[in-house]
Amino acid sequence: MTENDTNIPREYAAVDLGSNSFHMVVSRRDESNLIVVDRLREMVRLGSGFDDQNRLSEIACERALGCLTRFGERLRGMNTDNVRVVGTNSLRLAKNALQFIRQAEEELGFPVDVISGVEEARLIYLGVSETLQEDLGRRLVIDIGGGSTEMIVGDSAMPLYLESLYMGCVSTSELFFADGKISKSRMDKAIMAACVVLEPHIAIFENLNWEDIIATSGTARSIEEVSREAGWTEGGITRESMEKLVGAILQADHVDELKLAGLSDTRRSVFPGGVAILMAIFKSLSINHMRISEGSIREGVLADLIDRRQSLDTRAETVTAMISRHRIDEAQANRVCETALVIFSQLKKVWKFNSRDRELLSRAALLHEIGLMIAHGQYHKHGAYVLEYMELAGFSRQEQRELSLLVRLHRKKFHNEILSGLDEDRTLVLSRLIFVLRLAVVFNRGRRPEDLPKIKISAVDADISLKLDSQWLADHPLTQADLEQEQHYLRSSIFSLKVKEMAA
């Protein structure tokens, strides 16, 4: 039997490196069912560990890495394709995020994908939809995290509008209750600050005409638990229960005095900030009631991961949409992609390429002319900017950065310094993929659906030998001139290219 046999139980794991807590969920897939077999959660407060230079403190990193060591033990032996680790707001903001990610990957044994706020929102909505599959209609989903708050409106499983706001229970608590002291003026200022952040988005949310409101995440679940324990609600969260909760919090002068039934000791210090944000949402959107979902980003990551294994990859849909939206010459993109994969297959073994590298090369080839919609001059630079900074559903920030680099360097001078700052091993892989893409573009400069020559290419480290039929070269003087120009461009890179006539 093979791994594709549906009667073989397989484990999948999603790890969420949040600004407040780190979570891991492990599920077993048996036929069409996904059964949770393990959950781990630790409050690490990564978002509370920033210094005045916006760097994660050594103490916060040690606390987080200790947690990941324990997570890594549980993940040991799992299939690399069945595990995904995502980092959110703190790792989006920290100036030393790359250093922490390298250490985190060593402890976990798996790569860490830092995702954008909008991608985080998409995965949250997917997780909620997975848990509420029977529910139909338009819904507003709210997730108050440690460093950001995601708000999404969608129909059933389809998100229509996604927003990520830079306010969370940790950041708001540190801003308004840093010393732990609680007062009405502080709470009022915290609520007003959240209302200010929400204000530019209110009209958009109201015009989307949602019928149902669903809150998820630890903040919302803690608020509901406290409200239920106090008898203020029988289920969900109401405007009235929120007002009573704010009043109860104001009875304490310090977070250490918050002895509310249902409130855990680990959440106490960030509870006022989370309550302030949710109160602002109730006020700004005139909400009377919201219910709670157990599904969140972890469940969304799992669902997305399984879709990828079943060839239902959101990233492929995104690339297709980009080709259409930016009016890319699809026939030319496909020709370049096919040629790139021919070259890739011949160099795969010697350059130790893997399936991830193949996917990256394919997507870069399909999108390499995306900058033409802006201007032909320097279009590779325009395209690189679009791919790095546009919100691309399904892609992590690292994936977008690598796509951007391939497109940026697919023509003209090979600027090695543009790859600086990456891991040494990854820099080498990307350099090799860039070389492959550059060569594929050269062979398809004519933009015609003609048969390409038989290409034989080999490499010894960075020394590449390209063999072509002599008659074909004679019949294509422009390509021959382009290859000579490419040899000139590559002098600023680590590569050397020799073009030889293939023996008859």
Tell me what the mean pLDDT of segment 350-378 comes to.
96
SS3 313: coil
Q: Considering the domain boundaries, does residue 287 fall inside one?
A: yes
Same domain, 143 and 211: yes
Q: Considering the domain boundaries, does residue 5 fall inside one?
A: no
Same domain, 109 and 152: no
Same domain, 166 and 106: no
CATH code (residue 61): 3.30.420.40
* Total structural domains within the chain: 3
Same domain, 183 and 283: yes
Tell me what the mean pLDDT of segment 338-351 comes to.
97
Q: Given pLDDT bands bounded at 50, 70 and 90, which one contains residue 8?
A: very low
Same domain, 278 and 152: yes
The confidence score (pLDDT) of residue 7 equals: 45
Q: Considering the domain boundaries, does residue 491 fall inside one?
A: no
The range of the structural domain enclosing residue 180 comes to 118-299
Tell me what the mean pLDDT of segment 122-141 comes to.
88
Of 114, 133, 154, the domain-final residue: 114
Of 114, 149, 176, the domain-final residue: 114
Q: Considering the domain boundaries, does residue 478 fall inside one?
A: no
As a whole number of Å, the end-to-end CA separation of the chain is 45
The confidence score (pLDDT) of residue 32 equals: 67
CA-CA distances (angstroms) from residue 170 to 50, 56, 348? 11, 14, 46
What's the rounded Cα separation, in Å, for the pair 118 and 84? Answer: 18
Of 452, 467, 488, the domain-final residue: 452
pTM for this structure?
Answer: 0.89
Tell me the percentage of the chain whose pLDDT exceeds 70: 97
| DSSP output for 390-442 | S--TT--HHHHHHHHHHHHTSSSS--GGGGTTS-HHHHHHHHHHHHHHHHHHH
Same domain, 375 and 438: yes
Q: Considering the domain boundaries, does residue 232 fall inside one?
A: yes
CATH code (residue 336): 1.10.3210.10
CA-CA distances (angstroms) from residue 28 to 12, 37, 76? 6, 7, 15
| pLDDT, tens digit (0-9, with 9 covering 90-100), for 404-421 | 999 999 999 998 889 987
Pairing of strands 83-87, 33-43: unpaired
The confidence score (pLDDT) of residue 189 equals: 98
Same domain, 220 and 319: no
Same domain, 23 and 72: yes
Element housing 482 (H / E): helix 477-489
CATH code (residue 290): 3.30.420.150
Same domain, 294 and 381: no
CB 56 within 8 A of CB 49: yes
Same domain, 415 and 381: yes
| pLDDT, tens digit (0-9, with 9 covering 90-100), for 380-409 | 999 999 999 999 999 999 999 999 999 999
Q: Considering the domain boundaries, does residue 225 fall inside one?
A: yes
Same domain, 142 and 232: yes
Q: Considering the domain boundaries, does residue 325 fall inside one?
A: yes
Is it the case that residue 198 has pLDDT exceeding 70? yes
The confidence score (pLDDT) of residue 4 equals: 47
Same domain, 70 and 130: no
Q: Considering the domain boundaries, does residue 160 fall inside one?
A: yes
Element housing 276 (H / E): helix 271-284
The confidence score (pLDDT) of residue 343 equals: 97
